[in-house]
Structure 1
Amino acid sequence: MKFYQSKLLNAFSDIRHCYTTKHSKNLAFHVNDKIEEVIANHQHLAQELKYDCKTVVHMKQIHSNAVKIIDENDSFETPPTCDALVTNKKNIPLMVMVADCAPLLFYDKEKKTIGVAHAGRAGAFSNISQNVVDVFVNNFHAKPENIYVSIGPNIHQCCYEVGEEIFDETKKLDLEYAIQKRDNSYFLNIQKILQTQLLNAGIQKENIETAPLCTACNTTNFYSYRAEKETGRFSGIIFLKD
């Protein structure tokens, strides 16, 4: 598999998007790969997707629910510290990097606005999805019913075992519905949390698409921290075309 794409987002000709695979190699700078090799991976990806590598904005991800609107200070060499990005500028690719956490891609067909989010357990528990939708609405005058969201490949409940302390946390946050108990072990469904939060934020059910691929089950194509421990990162990427 070279890339994985959302059928939902493929319907729109004014954006380009994809989820990379191991075909594109590691795209993160914090996993002990040589910097020049990671840069080369980015340059190759930019050539394949037809954008200028210098314009892509990725993030220093910190497992928060912080959302950043792109400005002139943000670039490939100066990534902001946050876990979500939003822009309405054309030819500015937004990138989220993951290896089990959920990469989310957002697109508003009316306001021509895009966003990405990094939603691991911390991001899901702190409802980063709602924060992204709030930025679309409050800063770009979007209506939630016009926003489309793709939840990319991530670790699924089949492989995401958590401890009793996480189960207790879900109860405190009213997220117990996302826990499955099997043989005295607990398994977390991040997708279910994200889908529920997006619906509560006003996103239409038919405008939400979830990739059926578990990263821990598909290490041939995707990096998985749970399954591989020392591993790279793949990305979700989206940009507005001219």
Structure 2
Amino acid sequence: MLTRLDFYGGLEQLRGFNSFPAPHFFTTLQAGNMSSEWGDEEEVYDNFKNFLRQVMPRRPKPVLMLPEHSHKITILSPHQSSAWNIKCDGLLTASPHIALVMKPADCLPVLMTTADRKFVGLIHAGWRGTNEEIASKAVELAVSAYKVKPEEIFIGIGPGIHECCYDDEELARKLLSDERWRPFISGGPLGARIDLLDFNVRQLLGAGVKREHIKVAENCTCHSREKNEYLFFSHHRVKRQSEEKARLEKEGRFEEAEKIIPEPEGRHAAVVSMI
């Protein structure tokens, strides 16, 4: 189920077109920050424009998801796609003129389609959306809206934070009160770890998607590197750096603290389209 990513100068794609049968890309740090919330608006606009020009030569209209950490999923038709930005955590469309876009840091981008591309979908699965079982809800909605069977649906899960790095003791304690989460939270000498990825896969399987139709990028946004450089933006990684710097300063270890320079925040992009 884990699959490597093919890299194309700041972009990546699930290896082998048959891994996920719809055009899709994820940006890396090399392509620059894609969110004006975390950087200069003009620079972000140029980064995003260059990205879309490179990966979408047929120029479908980009519709950007503005996540609310909910289970809200919006179905787009050619007549309902006048808005560029839509507040939701899932987008579905059967229009060849639309490209679905989201800008995550560590949350999982979940792509959906069928072998003959009856539709495409893009889901934002952070811990809140995962808790609301947004992945399985998206499958159910696609089955209803596009008259497909769950076993016809292909899933591609892009880079996101994996269990190896998602160490959040406070959140883990909160989630452990819900028995659904217990198989996906592990303990250890480094603290509790949360497995967003496997919980989403479990939801997709429960919704009727075939295991062999689920392809998962092996990259963790928090730690994946190439040539000793981080590949992706990661909110969790920056948070760790800031917390470690604050801890050292509190302990009076100022020389050590000065050596820690937290990275600037940023977001990469995930995109999927019909053509």
Alignment of 1:147-162 (within 5 A): 147-162=153-168
Aligned residues: 238
Instruction: Find the counterpart in structure 2 of residue 135 from structure 1.
Output: 141
CA distance in 2, matches of 1:91, 1:190: 32
Query: Kindly tell me: are residues 52 and 228 of structure 1, through their superposed partners in 2, closer, same or farther at Cα, counting changes over 3 Å?
Result: farther
Q: Which moved more, 1:223-232 or 1:130-139?
A: 223-232
- Contact 2:105-2:221 at 8 Å conserved across structures: yes
- In the alignment, structure 2 segments of 5+ residues that lack a partner are 1-6, 240-263
**TM-score under structure 1 length normalisation:** 0.90
2:14 to 6, 15, 32: 6
Structure 1 residue 14 displacement after superposition: 6.9
Q: Which has the larger radius of gyration?
A: 2
Residue 44 of structure 2 aligns to a residue whose secondary structure is helix
1:201 to 197, 207, 220: 207
CA distance in 2, matches of 1:50, 1:171: 44
Superposition RMSD in Å: 2.1
Alignment of 1:163-202 (within 5 A): 163-183=169-189, 185-202=191-208
1:78 to 71, 74, 84: 84
- Contact 2:60-2:96 at 8 Å conserved across structures: no
CA distance in 1, matches of 2:179, 2:72: 19
Instruction: Find the counterpart in structure 1 of residue 29 from structure 2.
Output: 22
Alignment of 1:107-126 (within 5 A): 107-110=113-116, 112-126=118-132
CA distance in 2, matches of 1:184, 1:224: 19
- Contact 2:22-2:117 at 8 Å conserved across structures: no
Percent identical residues = 27
Structure 1 residue 22 displacement after superposition: 1.3
Alignment of 1:76-115 (within 5 A): 78-110=84-116, 112-115=118-121
Q: Which moved more, 1:228-237 or 1:46-55?
A: 46-55
**TM-score under structure 2 length normalisation:** 0.80
- Contact 2:20-2:155 at 8 Å conserved across structures: no
Per-residue Cα deviation, 1:42-77 (whole angstroms, up to 9, x for no partner)? 2101111134667101111111111001143435x6
Instruction: Find the counterpart in structure 2 of residue 234 from structure 1.
Output: 268
Instruction: Find the counterpart in structure 2 of residue 35 from structure 1.
Output: 41
Residue 4 of structure 1 aligns to a residue whose secondary structure is strand
- In the alignment, structure 1 segments of 5+ residues that lack a partner are none
Instruction: Find the counterpart in structure 1 of residue 231 from structure 2.
Output: 221
Residue 226 of structure 1 aligns to a residue whose secondary structure is helix
Per-residue Cα deviation, 1:77-123 (whole angstroms, up to 9, x for no partner)? 63110011000110311012111111111112245210001111111
Per-residue Cα deviation, 1:166-220 (whole angstroms, up to 9, x for no partner)? 3342341421000110127210011110110000010000000111111110262
Instruction: Find the counterpart in structure 1 of residue 3 from structure 2.
Output: none
